[in-house]
Chain A
């Protein structure tokens, strides 16, 4: 199984809503990532978890809250988002320590209205 599964694939939420994005991998990877990608732009790193601990936070606003309940799951909790937060949110995982490449999920297309 070489898949990273993200749910939901599409999400529309209001600025006062609370929602969560989910990411799951069963490759035994120890590093998991959240990226934000705007249209026609490269992915921008948001968070990195290594061995279930947050190791990188790229100065992301607190309205985005990551969570890593176990080594296979990664969540991104969303609250009080702004329309400019509308983007494709990509999850990725890697084996860590530069052993392998990063595998990406298909992303969640988020629209904030």
Chain B
């Protein structure tokens, strides 16, 4: 069974600074995707960034980047130049194909990030 572990229940950062959220996962699959989702108080789950396991290059999306260490099964999210709007719950998620042609998206427990002015 796949598991996703986020070891930091809560974090805070000052506006304009950089913060890193950690995530580790466990799987025996070779083909999978990893995601970071953001869930603000509005409760909409919003995709922040995705990483394909077969790609060695770390994904980046503007101020968001990941450090993907496949051998260590680690997938951390770095947020640069933090903004007040980044305040949210951040979930690390793992997706793998299942029999029947669908995918199963498994979430970590989340890290609550607060950006302080």
Distance in angstroms from B68 CB to nearest chain A CB is 16
A48 touching B102 in the complex, CB below 8 Å, given contacts A98-B31, A101-B35: yes
Q: Which listed segment binds A: B13-21, B37-45, B72-80?
A: B37-45
Task: Give chain A's interface secondary structure class.
Answer: strand
Q: A42-B110, A98-B97 are in contact. Are A106 and B43 (CB under 8 A)?
A: yes
The answer to whether B62 has its CB under 8 Å from any CB of chain A is: no
- The range of chain B's interface size is 20 to 34
| Chain B contacts for A16, CB-based, 8 A | none
Contact B103 A94 (CB under 8 A): yes
Interface residues contributed by chain A, number (CB under 8 Å) = 29
- A residues near B (Cβ < 8 Å) are 31, 33, 40-43, 45, 48-51, 53, 55-56, 88, 90, 92, 94, 96-98, 101-107, 109
